[in-house]
Amino acid sequence: MVLPVILSGGSGSRLWPVSREHYPKQFLKLNSETHTLLQETVLRLDAVHGATPPLVVCNDEHRFLVADQLQQLNVRPGRILLEPQGRNTAPALALAAMVALEQEDDPTLLIMPADHVIEDTQAFANAVSRGLELCGQGYMVTFGIQPSSPHTGYGYIRKGDSLSAGHRVAAFVEKPDLERAEQYLASGDHVWNSGIFLMRARQYLAELGKHADDILHACEAAFAGRSEDLDFLRLDVERFAECRSESIDYAVMEQTQAAAVVPMDPGWNDIGAWDAIHELKSRRAGPEGNAVQGDVMLHGARGNLVRSESRLVAAVGVEDLVIVETEDAVLVAGREHAQDTKHIVNALKSAGRSEFQAHPNVYRPWGHYRTMVLTSSYQVKEIVVNPGAKLSLQMHYHRAEHWVVVQGTARVTQGQGHGDAEQLTSFLLSEDESTYIPLGTVHRLENPGVVPLRLIEVQTGSYLGEDDIVRFGDDYGRCDDPS
């Protein structure tokens, strides 16, 4: 049995303004028009013999995004494990191994980041088969990518003695400068570090205890205080906060004597920054080498990545640029400086601006909303509720709301008291109908139809923050959570 562990904790700051803290790159359709990077990772498992439903490790804030995207594929995960804070991959895998050992005696874990592109899934599956052979011989396997260029943005692995299906790991090498990367490429004995691993659950925990016992003990304490919430497994927040942040590479793979590497060439790309997106899409571009998406017009332009999400973007006589437009931000960068986009994100964060964190569209388990107008005393939102979904039964202390249905049918529940059923009434609203929810009124919005419910909400009041909410009942277990 192979238990896939999908690590979905990244923030993708170098792909801003499309990737943001609340909606990072693994949930975006960056390589495909039909599936997100997370969904592509899950679908890739169809080619892996013996793979079970995946275990997903993600940030608590992304739990409903993960659940929704898996549901779109009709995939029910083995478990969704929630991290209260990001602590890098070594603790994430330790906790995944503990979950896995509750399901099987000693499963083999296939550890994959949720935000990579692999174009040849069969080549990937074949590499996993070779890795399983080495796992059976007691090795902890990492997968190395055959380098196609002297890339300075990747770590490298130096291959050691040959094994039946790969090589021993001679050394892990940090990201090199260009001169050293050219030497690695010419030598033929270095591969890129993919961040994909294959190993037995008990062996990983044993090696972690040997080389980073503080991480193991913190994870054991956090796991001991776990609780279940719908399809999610929550950890003890205080105990997990005591765990230091560390990667699998530093904590275990660089220390163990059992590390092996399986080289592979499956068309891999870690989608680390916009230059990687250009590399992927320019293969399908014309002779000018422009990679475009959305409403884009170019003239006399070469070697550019231009992406539009909400309006026409035109570029004339420019070369080797990244131009990315979203509803509330525009990025213009030299392609060779695409990795530096994270510095803009850090500056936005330091300035207390929201653009690093959230899109105008804010996603919830029932659908999403978009703020159209915001002032100190009123706010206008577009709200979209998925078919069959409903918001929590709730009340606000500081604002009143006026709802106008523009598409679909709404079931509105409202009343006084504290959500007592006998004090609530329900009624339907159709398109072009509206209702008023006074301040302090208990209410709920539901979509009983088969098409998305779309309405315009006008809020008025002295405070319009999202935390002005008291929940009396919620299908998604959020009664103590403003998300």
* 438 within 8 A of 382, measured Cβ to Cβ: no
Q: Could you tell me the CA-to-CA distances from 424 to 22, 66, 394, 444 in Å, in that order? A: 34, 33, 12, 10
pLDDT of residue 10: 82
- pLDDT, tens digit (0-9, with 9 covering 90-100), for 292-303: 999 999 999 999
The C-alpha atoms of residue 219 and residue 225 are separated, in whole angstroms, by 10
Neighbour tally for 204: CB within 10 Å: 26
In this prediction, residue 420 has a pLDDT band, given cuts at 50, 70 and 90, of low
Nearest to 27 by CA among 43, 49, 48, 12: 12
The C-alpha atoms of residue 209 and residue 213 are separated, in whole angstroms, by 4
To 5 degrees, how large is the angle CA 261–CA 264–CA 269? 110
- pLDDT, tens digit (0-9, with 9 covering 90-100), for 109-164: 999 999 999 999 999 999 999 999 999 999 999 999 999 999 888 999 999 999 99
Nearest to 408 by CA among 382, 385, 391: 385
H/E run at residue 239: helix 237-241
Which ranges of 57-105 would DSSP assign to H, the alpha helix?
Answer: 63-72, 89-103
Q: Could you tell me the CA-to-CA distances from 164 to 49, 60, 250, 436 in Å, in that order? A: 20, 41, 26, 71
* 75: amino acid identity, one letter: V
pLDDT of residue 419: 55
* 221: amino acid identity, one letter: A
170 φ, ψ to 5°? -80, -40
For the full predicted model, state whether its pTM sits above 0.85: yes
* 112 within 8 A of 5, measured Cβ to Cβ: yes
- Using CB atoms within 10 A of its CB, is residue 419 exposed (0-12), middle (13-18) or buried (19+)? buried
Sketch out the chain's domains with CATH numbers: 2-269 (3.90.550.10), 276-344 (no CATH), 361-473 (2.60.120.10)
- pLDDT, tens digit (0-9, with 9 covering 90-100), for 178-188: 999 999 999 99
